[in-house]
A = this chain, B = another copy of it.
Amino acid sequence: MPKQELPIVDVGVQVSAEACCAPLVCEPLDEAEATELAPLFKAIADPVRLRLLSLIACHEGGEACVCDLTVAFDLTAPTISHHLKVLKQAGLIDSERRGTWAYYWINPSVLARMSALLSPASALAATPA
């Protein structure tokens, strides 16, 4: 039933766009950057939301219906709804209502930014000895 619509690239993020990609091991984060980035990690700093994000990202068609998600947890629907809202407000996912059901898909660019931030700057800072 979910109509597949591939929410591809579309970098229309609310975070400051391309101010993104220097890994935090390359140059020190200033306070403003840290304040902007921390909420992204806070959004996935919960097992339920991590699984939600993964379930949505892996779902065929690139999107998942809330009904698919709710059954995967031993939690009430309002709780799932709450977690989805947190993920959405962080910009990690987006949603649309189509008829009776609501569909969610991930925003890959935000995920990419977070991944890049943590990337270990290959040649740096290894070996404590």
A126-B8, A128-B9 in contact; A38/B29 too (CB < 8 A)?
A: no
Question: What is the interface size of chain A, counting residues whose CB is below 8 A from a CB of the partner?
Answer: 55
- The answer for the CA separation of A129 and B46 in the assembled complex, in Å, is 29
CB contacts (< 8 Å) of A129 on chain B: these are 6, 8
Q: Which of B31, B34, B44, B54 contacts A41 (CB 8 A)?
A: B44
Q: How far is the CB of A10 from chain B (nearest CB, A)?
A: 7
CB contacts (< 8 Å) of A82 on chain B: these are none
| Residue ranges of A at the interface with B (Cβ–Cβ < 8 Å) | 6-10, 24-31, 34-35, 37-39, 41-42, 44-51, 53-55, 57-58, 62-63, 94, 105-106, 108, 111-112, 114-121, 124-129
